[in-house]
Amino acid sequence: MSSSHDRIESTPEVTYTESEWREKLTPEEFAVLRQAGTERPFVGEYTDTTTEGVYSCRACGAELFRSTEKFESHCGWPSFFDPADSDAVILKEDSSLGMRRVEVICKKCHSHLGHVFEGEGYPTPTDQRYCINSISLVLKPAQ
C-alpha cells in the first residue's frame, strides 16, 4: 500500500506526557490509543452502529471518519473505506505479530486507531478496509 502518509512527523500537534495521557484516558483507552493495543472483536461500541455522523479521535477530538464511509465488514470492528480527510491519518508500516500490516494513526496526536487492509474484495470505492478500534473513536451524531 503506497501512501504519502507513510511517515510520522517528529512532533504531533497535540502532545501530553505519558502521565497526562494516563490521567486523560481510561486504562483501556490508554492501552489501545497510546500502546497500540487492540480491543476484542465484536464488543466495541461502534461495531454495528449505523448512526449518521462524524467519528473523531477519542484522544484529541480530531475528525477522522464519517458514517458515509462506514460499511459492514463482519470483521468485529468498525470498518471504513476512507478517512474523512486524507490528511487526518498517518499510515505506518507495522511488522509486529510476524506479519506485514499498515497501522492507522491519528495525525493530530499520533494515537493508534487500528489498521488498514486492501485487496480483500469488499464492494467499496477504494478496496480498502480501515479496521478501527471503537475505543479509539467518539461518534458525534448528525443533527
Residues acting as catalytic residues:
131
Query: 33 and 58 in contact (C-beta within 8 Å)?
Result: yes
Return all residues near 53 (Cβ < 8 A) that are at least 6 apart: 66, 67, 139, 140, 141, 142
- Residue 74: which of 99, 48, 50 has the closest Cα? 48
Return all residues near 51 (Cβ < 8 A) that are at least 6 apart: 67, 139, 141, 142
Q: CA-CA distance, 140 to 143, in Å (whole number)?
A: 9
- Cα-Cα-Cα-Cα dihedral sign, residues 26, 29, 33, 36: positive
Q: Name the percent of the chain in helix, strand, coil, to the closest 5.
A: 15, 30, 55
